[in-house]
Structure formats: C-alpha cells, structure tokens
Amino acid sequence: MRRLQAALVLFCLAMIPTATRAQADGEYERTRDVIYGRKFGVALTMDVFAPKAKHNDRAVIVVVSGGWFSTPEAISPLFMMEYLKRGYTVFAVVHGSQPKFTIPEILEDMHRAVRYIRSHAGDYHIDPERIGITGVSAGGTCRC
C-alpha cells in the first residue's frame, strides 16, 4: 500500500507542466541532500529551498511523508513556492520509513532535523526561534 501511495505521488508530480517548473527554478536556490543525521548506516537528508529575492529570517519545515513513508522523490518544489514567495526558507525533511523504522523512531528523526536546523540557523540566515512545521498525511501529524 505504501509503495502504491509513493507511486501515486510520483505520478502526480510528473504531470506538472515543465514550463511551471522552469519558471519556479529562477525564484529560489535549492540545496539537495543535506545530511542532518545518520542511523544504522543510513543518511537522513533534507533539501533546503532559499528564496533569492526577499528573505524574512523565518523558516518552514515540510515533513515529506505519506503513510509514514518518506522519499526524496516526493519533494515537489511547487509545494514550496508560496512559502518562498513570502520570504521563508523551506526545509523539506525526509525521515526513515516504515516498515523498517517505527513511528517513534520516525518522530526522533524529525526531532533530530529540528535540532540540526536550529544549530545551523546562522548558515541558513534564519532565526532559530521562528521555525514552523507543516506536512500532509502522516507528515501533518508530526509534533516536533
């Protein structure tokens, strides 16, 4: 079931017109695969989206998750655009997935990501006390 959900997400992303993607690319800088931690030989990663035009020193963490399954392929820049237009730096966090990892372990991954972002706030030009979090499906249930 989880693979079906991931396949559906990837299919929907593939349907987005490439012209829209190209237009969005000029408005932000994307840093892929930033490692925020490791566990059991697995790198925990996130992509960082920073607006090029206006910065407001705030950040939003987007939990990339559906059915407690998380993959970098599910990161959609278009989902981040409204935040970027408003000056937010966006952290798209990928966590360990079920069934290999349990929900408490996944929650610990998210806590680790928040600690990493706060400790590197100066590198990303954000205020460590002005960070929000959002997500959909299982990503919307994370309380970090």
> How many CB atoms are closer than 10 A to CB 11?
9
Show the domain range for 73: 2-140
Radius of gyration of the chain (CA): 15
Query: Among 143, 137, 141, which Cα is nearest to 1's?
Result: 137
Element (H, E) at 85: helix 77-85
Assigned token pair, 87? 């000056």
**pLDDT, position 133:** 95
**pLDDT, position 104:** 93
**pLDDT, position 138:** 73
Assigned token pair, 75? 């990161």
Above 80 in pLDDT, residue 123?
yes
Number of structural domains found in the chain: 1
pLDDT tier at 141, thresholds 50, 70, 90: low
- How far is it, in rounded angstroms, from Cα 113 to Cα 118? 9
pLDDT tier at 124, thresholds 50, 70, 90: very high
The answer for residues whose C-beta is within 8 angstroms of residue 91's C-beta and 6 or more apart is 46, 47, 48, 49, 59, 60, 61, 62, 113, 117
Residue 75 backbone phi and psi in degrees, to 5:
-75, 120
Give residue-wise pLDDT tens across range 94-118.
999 988 999 999 999 999 999 999 9
Question: What mean pLDDT, rounded, does the chain reach?
Answer: 84
Domain containing 61 — which CATH number? 3.40.50.1820
pLDDT tier at 3, thresholds 50, 70, 90: low
**pLDDT, position 96:** 92
Above 70 in pLDDT, residue 19?
no
**pLDDT, position 11:** 39
Q: Is 124 exposed, middle or buried (0-12, 13-18, 19+ CB in 10 A)?
A: middle
Give residue-wise pLDDT tens across range 40-96.
998 999 999 999 988 999 999 999 998 889 999 999 999 999 999 999 999 999 999
